[in-house]
Amino acid sequence: MAVNAIMKYGSPVLREKAVPVAVVGEAVRTLVSDMLASMYAENGVGLAAEQIGRTEAVCVIDVPAEQACGVKMPLALINPQIVEAEGEQVGQEGCLSFPDVYVNVRRAERVKASYLDTDGHPQTVDATGLLSRAIQHEIDHLNGVLLVDHMSPVQKVANAGKLKRMKRGV
């Protein structure tokens, strides 16, 4: 288990589209445990592979039990896809690649996602609230879509200084 540095806004890898995992084996299980360790080290509730400089279609999530919709945490999603989405929620969202940036983001209230678990078995997860938001945020990462892409012009102006410093790597 290794704790990796989290890539910040401005790192090109964050814009890469993840590559589906062909075989779920030891290499992916090691990646999942490294991602969990890296996420916990930064007190995050979700992390996508790009955030530690990798391009496998893998993300991990660990939300508090009372917001986990009965799903056992942590959750590792391999090759996840949203298969159903409905309703709407607006709530504050952050990202380990955007330190100290929190903005209100509109998301679907409920999503159903398909994925492979760490044994390679097909699974689905049905989520509302924070877990639904986390799944949507992490799948965005796997498509190279970032928190900044959800910002309104006003939110971008309000965070312009922080975004510029991140891009410069300071």
In contact, 14 and 144? CB cutoff 8 Å: yes
| Residue among 24 and 107 whose Cβ is closer to Ni ion | 107
Shortest reach from residue 137's CB to Ni ion, in Å = 5
Shortest reach from residue 65's CB to Ni ion, in Å = 21
138 catalytically annotated: yes
| Residue among 7 and 24 whose Cβ is closer to Ni ion | 7
Report which of 115, 128, 37 is spatially closest to residue 81, judged by C-alpha positions: 115
| Residue among 21 and 39 whose Cβ is closer to Ni ion | 39
Shortest reach from residue 19's CB to Ni ion, in Å = 19
Q: Applying CB under 5 A, which residues contact Ni ion? A: 95
Q: How many CB atoms lie within 10 A of CB 13?
A: 14
Report which of 113, 123, 138 is spatially closest to residue 24, judged by C-alpha positions: 123
Q: How many CB atoms lie within 10 A of CB 132?
A: 27
| Residue among 14 and 28 whose Cβ is closer to Ni ion | 14
Shortest reach from residue 93's CB to Ni ion, in Å = 8
Q: Give the DSSP letter string of 56-98.
A: BSEEEE---GGGSTTPPSSEEEEEEEEEEEES-EEEEE--TTS
Q: Which residues are catalytic?
A: 138
